[in-house]
Amino acid sequence: MAIRTLIVDDEPLARRGIREHLAQQRDVVIIEECRDGREAVAAIKQHSPDLVFLDVQMPELDGFQVLQAIGAERMPAVIFVTAYDKYALQAFEVHALDYLLKPFNADRFSKAFQRARLQLEQRSISDLSNRLQSFLDDLKPNQKYKERLAIKSAGRIFFLNVAEIDWIEAADNYAALHVAGEEHLLRETMNSLEQQLDPAKFLRIHRSRIINIQRLKELRPLLGGEYEIRLQDGTRLESGRRYRGRLQELFGR
């Protein structure tokens, strides 16, 4: 019987890599590829796959939020995929959950896949559900969002209250924090920083931009599903099409 597989990752190259590795395995059918957590939740509910390759860091909903939305008891076999989440790696190992650390090679992929295949063949999904639920229970206390960020500048470190941030943009390997007309560089990726900020207060509008919702002044629809976003300080930003769902959901449209 073929293993019906779902690939979930916001990076096209990562999805392609998983797809190519799966092509070397027997009896695999890729039923869908998803670019973010919301697509993943819908696909899991619609298709009930046997196995999911689930990226941890994604826009819309991250991998952990997908797990919470589906529920441990209804979640198929899962192999988490992550680039740098140290806490996640420790948690996966404690709960005997399989993961792939990017970048991974063919041997590591094959080992993870064979463990998932064995799990499916032995019908041990109920045991997986217990481990996933335990994982979720342990994860909850660690979901406290940052209130301050440590900024290194000119040989000193100062602490910035996140509530002071107007908006954030990607700047190579840094995130540029815009605060009252000033710019501060923080060595974080946008995906990592997004996970640290309260989604009730900060909204990712583009792969390269996050805004403080309290600084939002006006939204103007543009052609193609994007929005022009105006902040209270006069800054004008444009949203990405794939993030319009968050904007529409937030403002009831």
Q: Is 160 left (phi over 0), alpha (psi -120 to 50) or beta?
A: beta
The type of residue at 3 is I
pLDDT at position 95 is 72
pLDDT in single tens digits along all 253 residues of the chain: 789 999 999 889 999 999 999 999 888 999 999 998 889 999 999 999 999 999 988 876 788 888 888 888 888 889 999 876 665 676 677 677 888 888 889 999 999 999 888 888 876 666 777 788 877 777 665 556 888 888 887 778 888 899 999 999 998 888 999 999 899 998 888 888 888 888 888 989 998 999 999 999 988 888 777 888 999 999 999 988 878 777 766 665 4
How much is the pLDDT for 8? 95
Q: What are phi and psi of 210, to 5 degrees?
A: -130, 140
What is the pLDDT at residue 58? 81
- pLDDT score, position 119: 82
pTM for this predicted structure = 0.58
Domain definitions of the chain by residue range: 3-142, 148-250
187 CB contacts (<8 Å, ≥6 apart)? 152, 173, 174
CATH of 148-250, one of 3.40.50.1580, 2.40.50.1020, 3.30.450.20, 2.60.40.60: 2.40.50.1020
CA atoms within 13 A on the CB side of 213: 12
- The class level of CATH for 3-142 reads alpha beta
> Peptide bond before 199: cis, by omega within 30 degrees of 0?
no
